[in-house]
Amino acid sequence: MTIQQGDRVPNTTFVKVTEAGPDAVESDSYFAGRKVAIFSVPGAFTPTCSAKHLPGFVEKADELKAKGIDEIACTAVNDAFVMGAWGKASGVEGKVTMLADGNGGFPKALGLEMDGSKFGMGTRGQRFSMIVNDGVVEQLNVEAPGQFEVSSADYMLGQL
């Protein structure tokens, strides 16, 4: 079943790259006590994700934070090193936290998986964004296949 607004985000484990190496991040503690704008992309370095989705959140980070967002996070079914390299190449430092989900646990727990095998990508997360307040989904924006409209930073700004 797909997660809905008002639901608590299930506990899963992300990994982020730090200067000391990969660091496990439990979603329960990550979302606790704060408002997080999180968006999921089908894959790091993929065309729409690199040209529009991630750059939009980098460009709008200050505006989102001015409207009450404590942290902005990007997640994808990629390993922590790929997410770290993509973040570095995209200039996200201080704007967007890159959360790797190499095993796809987050979209699976949310009911937001997609089959990317037609493109050689296997099972991935759908393109979506959420506003999570203290672990509870306040806004959920899931894209139709092949679309990029409701999960953008601009759309989220309109929801705040």
Residue 49 annotated to the active site? yes
pTM as predicted: 0.93
* Mean pLDDT across 17-31: 92
**Residue 140 belongs to a domain with what CATH number?**
3.40.30.10
For residue 6, being part of any structural domain is answered with: no
- Is 3 domain-assigned? no
Residue for token digits 């200050």?
62
Question: Is 92 inside any structural domain?
Answer: yes
Q: Among residues 49, 64, 114, 131, which one is catalytic?
A: 49
Greater model confidence, 128 or 125? 128
**Would 4 be classed as within a structural domain?**
no
7 part of a folded domain: no
Please tell me the number of Cα atoms within 13 Å of 80 on its side-chain side. 13
Query: How many independent structural domains does the chain possess?
Result: 1
Alpha helices by DSSP H, listed for the chain, are 27-31, 47-48, 54-59, 61-66, 80-90, 105-110, 153-159
Q: Are strands 71-76 and 97-100 parallel, antiparallel or unpaired?
A: parallel
pLDDT in tens, 130-147: 999 999 999 999 999 889
Per-residue confidence (pLDDT) for residue 122, from 0 to 100: 65
Kindly indicate the confidence band of residue 63, based on its pLDDT and cuts at 50, 70 and 90.
very high
Q: Give a yes or no: residue 2 inside a domain.
A: no
**Domain membership flag for residue 8:** no
pLDDT of residue 125: 87
Range of the domain at 63: 13-159
Q: What is the mean pLDDT of residues 144-157?
A: 93
Question: How many residues belong to the chain?
Answer: 160
